[in-house]
A and B are shown apart, each in its own frame.
Chain A
Amino acid sequence: MSRFKFEAVWAEFDTILAGVGLTIALSIGAIVLGSVLAVALVAVRTLLGRWAGHLVDAYVELMRNTPFLVQLFMIFFGLPLIGVKMTGEWAALLAMTLNLGAYASEIIRAGVDSIHKSQLEAGESLALTRWQVFRYVILKPAFARVWPALSSQFVLMMLASSICSFIAVRELSGVASIIEQNTFRSFEVYIVVTVLYLALALTLKASLLWLGGRLFPNTSGLARIEAKGSAV
C-alpha cells in the first residue's frame, strides 16, 4: 500500500476553496429560489382552481419520481437545442431550484394541510383578505411546523449539488475530480473533499436550526396550544 501524500492536495487548496464557494453559492441560491417556487406552487394549489392544482401535482410527482441527474441532463443538454443557452453553473442552479421547489412544496403543503379549518374561518371573520389569510394564517404557521423537515431537505439538496460535477460544474466535487486527474492522488483528494462536505452539511444544519429559532420564535408556544386543543 502506498503511503498517503496530502502535499499535492494542499498545493491545490485555493482551487478546493473556490469549489466550496460555488457549492455554497449554488446551495443558498437553490434554497432561496426553490423556497419561492415551492410557496408559489402551494399558493397556486390552495388559491386557484382544481385544474391548476392537478398541474402542480403532476409537476411535483414528475420531479420526485425521476433522478436529479436526469433532470440536470435534460436541462443542460436539452435547453440549448430550443435556443436557451446557459453555462453549466446556471443549468445546475436551475435544475436544483426546480427539484428542490417540488420537494419543498410537498413538505409545505403537509404543513398547510395541518392548519385547522377553524383558523381560516377565524381569519376570514377578522376581515382579512384571501391573500392575507394565506400569508399570515396558513403559510407562516405551516412553515413553522414543517421547518425541521424542510431543513433536512435543504441539506439533502446541498449534498445532491455534488451531482452537478457530471456536467463539469466546478463545485466541490467537480474540482475534486480535476485535482484527482492532475495529481493521481485520488484517495487523498476525496477524503479531504468528503471531510469538507461533512463540515458544510453540519454547518448548514446548525445554521438552519438557528434560523428556524429566529424566524419562528413562538413555535413552541404554538405547539403547546395545539397539544391542549387536541386533548379536549
Chain B
Amino acid sequence: MATFGWPEFFFILRSAGWTLLLTALAFVIGGAFGAALAILRLSENRILRGFASGYILVIQSIPVLMVLFMSYYGLSLFGIELPAFFAASLSLSIYVSAYLAEIWRGSIESVPFQQWEASSSLALTRAQQYRYVILPQALRIALPPTVGFLVQLVKNTSIVSVVGFVELSRAGALVNQATFLPFQVFSVVALIYFLICFPLSRLSRHLEKVMHAGRRH
C-alpha cells in the first residue's frame, strides 16, 4: 500500500492546474456564448427571445452531470470521438452559458429604462446603445455575481472526473484508492479547492460593496 507522501501531494497539486484550465476555458467559451444568449433573451424578436429563454430554462433545470453525459455520448453517436478534456470543456461551457446569460440579462435589465429612451432619442442604433450606454453600466452591476458564479464553476469542474479526466478531485480519488487515507487525501483536495474559491468569494462580496457605493438608492 502506498503512503501519502510528497509525490502524491504534487500529483494532486499538479492536477489542480487542470481544474484551473478547465475553469478558464469554460468561462471564456461559455461567457461568450452566454453574452450572446443574454442579448438574444432581450431581443425584440419573439422567436429569438423564446429560443434563449427555453435554452436557459432547460440547462438550468438539468444536472451538469447530464449535460456532460449528453455531450460525451451524444457526440460519439455522430462518430465524433472527443477526448475527455474536450467533452468536459464543452459541457461546462454549455452549463456556464446558461447561468451567465441569466446573470447578465438581469444586470442589463437593471439599467434604468430611461437610459434606453435617452440613447434612442439620440438616434443611436441598438448596437450603439449597448456598446456606449447600456453595457458600461450593466458591467458594474454584473461583476460581483459573475465572480460569485466563478466559484460555482470551479467547484462544478469536479464532476468531469466521471468521464475519466484527471483533474483535482479525480486525482484525489486515485490517490485515495492507492493509499486508503481518505481524511488526509480529501482534506488536501478540499483545501486546494478552498484556496481557489475562498478568495474569489471574498472578492465577489467586496466588489458588491464597492459597486454599491457608487450607486445611490
A interface residues, Cβ below 8 angstroms from B: 1-2, 61-62, 64-71, 73-74, 77-78, 81, 155, 159-160, 162-163, 165-166, 173, 176, 186-187, 190-191, 193-194, 197-198, 201-202, 205
Interface of A is mostly: helix
Can you list 13 A-B contacts (CB < 8 A)?
A61-B201, A65-B197, A67-B169, A69-B161, A70-B158, A70-B186, A70-B189, A74-B183, A77-B176, A159-B63, A186-B77, A201-B61, A202-B61
Q: How far is the CA of A74 from the CA of B193 in the complex (A)?
A: 14
Closest to B77 in A: A187
Nearest Cβ on chain B to A185's Cβ, whole angstroms: 9
Contacts of A74 in B (CB 8 A): 182-183, 186-187, 190
Pairwise interchain contact B62-A159, C-beta atoms closer than 8 A: yes
**Is the beta-carbon distance between B201 and A64 smaller than 8 angstroms?**
yes
Contact of B169 among A62, A73, A77 (CB under 8 A): A73
Bound: A139/B61 CA distance, A:
29
A223 to B89 Cα, complex, angstroms: 43
Q: Using Cβ atoms and an 8 Å threshold, which residues of chain A touch B189?
A: 70
Complex: A74 Cα to B183 Cα, angstroms? 6
The reply to whether the CB of B37 lies closer than 8 angstroms to some CB of chain A is no
Q: Which one of A71, A186, A193 lies within 8 Å of B66 (CB-CB)?
A: A193
Q: Which of B160-203 contact A (CB under 8 A)?
A: 161-162, 169, 172-173, 176, 182-183, 186-187, 189-190, 193-194, 197-198, 201
Give which listed residue, B63, B156, B172, B182, contacts A81 with CB less than 8 A: B182
- In the complex, what distance in Å separates the CA atom of A186 from the CA atom of B61? 21
- B157 and chain A: residue at smallest CB distance: A67
Assess whether B38 is interfacial by the CB under 8 Å rule: no
The answer to whether A1 and B77 touch across the interface, beta carbons within 8 angstroms, is yes
**Residues of B close to A65: CB separation below 8 A:** 151, 155, 193-194, 197-198, 201
Q: Which 8 A-B pairs have the closest CB atoms?
A: A77-B182, A201-B61, A65-B197, A162-B63, A186-B73, A67-B158, A67-B155, A78-B182
Q: Which residues of B contact A62 (CB under 8 A)?
A: 190, 194
Q: Is the CB of A190 within 8 A of B66?
A: yes
Q: Which positions in B face A, CB cutoff 8 Å? A: 58, 61-66, 69-70, 73-74, 76-79, 151, 155-156, 158-159, 161-162, 169, 172-173, 176, 182-183, 186-187, 189-190, 193-194, 197-198, 201
Write the chain B residue with the least CB distance to A172: B63
Tell me which of A66, A160, A190, A202 contacts B197 (CB under 8 A).
A66
The answer, among B61, B64, B156, B173, for a CB contact under 8 Å with A73, is B173
Contact pick for B63, options A78, A160, A187, CB 8 Å: A160
A66 touches B65 (CB 8 A): no
CB-based contact B198/A61 at 8 Å: yes
CB pair A66–B155 under 8 Å, yes or no, is yes
User: Knowing that A74-B187, A81-B183 are A-B contacts, what are 9 other residue pairs whose CB atoms are under 8 Å apart, sorted by A's residue number?
Assistant: A1-B79, A69-B161, A73-B169, A77-B182, A78-B182, A163-B63, A187-B70, A197-B66, A198-B58
